């Protein structure tokens, strides 16, 4: 599922809320932990530190470090992360990559893992170091059992994307939980709302087996790199619904996909230049497409999650302003001509993507009679009366032009976000990565 650069790995604000002592990390781990999937690329010491500063400020408890190979550059990045996490009181745990070409057997990284689990910054849940994966469905129970005998009492919560949720634990007695990687509607389902059917089954089976369930939250998955890495997992009707679904289901843990996975377009954090220097295709797909607009709403969601809220109703601005929000959209229409691209447009675009602008607007308590208006070029695409708290929207019919979102209180505009990239109906690159714009911006 991941694309790796050499980067062979693709890379996954506000006031810092300190976690206190190293023991505080473990105490929080028994509550409502929330993680961000972090791709281990060749990232500098300073940039790993900035990633931790930013993630902690947003409310994340730890990075799930996607590690796929023993190399000097990957090991250096891991060591930078742990050095900075120790100083900044932030959590880290490994998510070992079992996708094709990477780790086939967990015993191959057992000794490597043991060097880190005793660190105060290594994330622990109920006092036990957490170990996750991407994939690994073919790992046998005996392999997991052998792995545990080597590394000690760890919590194994693998991230599966090709498994029957109803039988996940039938022949996997040694794992301690499951992370449902599939945070997007299957492309075959067409243009629908992201589903919780598998989440419900995973959660039910985990509960029956006294195991943990970790739920994924992700805005989109778009990959356009070569013939075997060319797909679209629907971003429309996704993130704005996924927040409410996560609060309703109340899983044991949440993991955002991802902090910095540029090659799959679902990055929500910083993207640094150094991991992408050898991949001009990825550089082109993310050019001018910063996704930190999501930061306008992530703190409010994480706070609601930590409180144990069951709905999004009490998600309000965290910027001490009347409104705060984000919107996102493709900058190429679904039927656009990008025939000069050497890689054909994925058929998934026609099946699952939409010409639409989606977003979230948070409204402060006591603010009423506000209206959100979305324009593209000189055309009004849609408008919506806003309520206190959480407002989601999707306006279809996106055409060419620049997109803007404005919030009005009568004749006074009190917030606005303006997309820099114009929507077009032709391009030399079939790029369906989102433009993400924060409000205010």
Strand partners, 94: 65, 131
The pLDDT value recorded for residue 293 is 98
Which residues in 107-120 are b (16+ Cβ under 10 Å) and which e? Answer: bebbeebeebbeee
The pLDDT value recorded for residue 100 is 79
Q: What is the mean pLDDT of each run of 10 residues along the chain (441 residues)?
A: 38 32 38 97 98 99 97 97 99 95 94 98 98 97 98 98 97 98 96 98 98 98 97 98 99 98 98 95 97 99 98 98 98 98 98 99 97 98 98 98 98 96 98 97 70
- The 3-class SS string of 11-64 reads CCCCCCCCCCCHHHHHHHCCCCCEEEEEECCCCCHHHHHHHHHHHHHHCCCEEE
CATH value of 323-439 in 1.20.1050, 3.80.10, 2.60.40, 1.20.1630: 2.60.40
CATH 2.60.40 in the chain: give the residue spans.
Answer: 323-439
Query: CA torsion sign, 30 to 36 to 38 to 43?
Result: negative
**Model-level pTM?**
0.93
CATH 3.20.20.80 in the chain: give the residue spans.
Answer: 22-278
The pLDDT value recorded for residue 17 is 33
The pLDDT value recorded for residue 395 is 99
Query: What kind of fold does domain 22-278 have according to CATH?
Result: TIM Barrel (3.20.20)
């Amino acid at each position: 599922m991941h694309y790796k650069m050499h980067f062979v790995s693709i890379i996954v604000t506000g006031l810092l809320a300190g976690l206190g002592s190293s023991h505080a990390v473990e105490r929080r781990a028994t509550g409502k932990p929330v993680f961000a999937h972090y791709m281990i690329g060749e990232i500098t010491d300073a940039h790993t530190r900035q990633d931790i500063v930013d993630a902690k400020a947003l409310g994340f408890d730890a990075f799930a470090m996607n590690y796929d190979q023993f190399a000097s550059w990957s090991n250096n990045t891991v060591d930078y992360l742990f050095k900075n996490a120790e100083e900044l009181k932030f959590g880290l745990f490994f998510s070992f990559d079992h996708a094709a070409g990477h780790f086939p057997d967990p015993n191959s990284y057992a000794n490597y893992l043991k060097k880190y689990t005793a660190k105060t910054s290594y994330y622990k849940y109920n006092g036990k170091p957490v170990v996750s994966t991407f994939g690994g469905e073919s790992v046998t129970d005996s392999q997991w059992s052998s792995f545990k005998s080597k590394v000690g009492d760890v919590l194994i919560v693998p991230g599966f994307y090709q498994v029957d949720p109803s039988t996940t634990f039938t022949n996997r007695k040694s794992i301690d939980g499951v992370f449902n990687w599939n945070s997007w509607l299957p492309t075959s389902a067409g243009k629908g709302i992201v589903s919780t059917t598998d989440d419900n089954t995973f959660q039910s089976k985990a509960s029956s087996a006294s195991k943990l369930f970790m739920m994924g939250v992700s805005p989109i998955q778009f990959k356009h790199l070569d013939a075997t890495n060319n797909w679209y997992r629907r971003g429309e009707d996704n993130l704005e619904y996924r927040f409410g679904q996560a609060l309703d289901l109340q899983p044991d843990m949440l993991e955002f996909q991802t902090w910095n996975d540029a090659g799959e377009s679902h990055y929500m954090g910083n993207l640094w230049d150094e991991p992408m220097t050898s991949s001009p295709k990825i550089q082109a797909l993310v050019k001018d497409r910063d996704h930190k607009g999501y930061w306008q709403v992530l703190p409010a969601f994480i706070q609601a999650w930590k409180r144990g809220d069951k709905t999004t109703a009490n998600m309000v601005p965290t910027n001490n302003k009347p409104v705060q929000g984000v919107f996102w959209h493709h900058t190429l229409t679904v039927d656009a001509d990008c025939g000069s691209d050497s890689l054909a447009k994925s058929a998934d675009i026609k099946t699952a993507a939409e010409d639409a602008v989606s977003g979230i607007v948070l409204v402060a308590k006591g603010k009423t009679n506000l209206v959100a208006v979305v324009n593209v070029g000189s055309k009004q695409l849609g408008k919506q009366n806003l309520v206190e708290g959480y407002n989601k929207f999707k306006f279809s019919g996106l055409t060419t032009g620049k997109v803007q979102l404005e919030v009005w209180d009568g004749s006074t505009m009190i917030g606005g976000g303006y997309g820099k990239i114009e929507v077009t109906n032709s391009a030399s690159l079939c790029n369906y990565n989102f433009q993400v714009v924060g409000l205010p911006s």
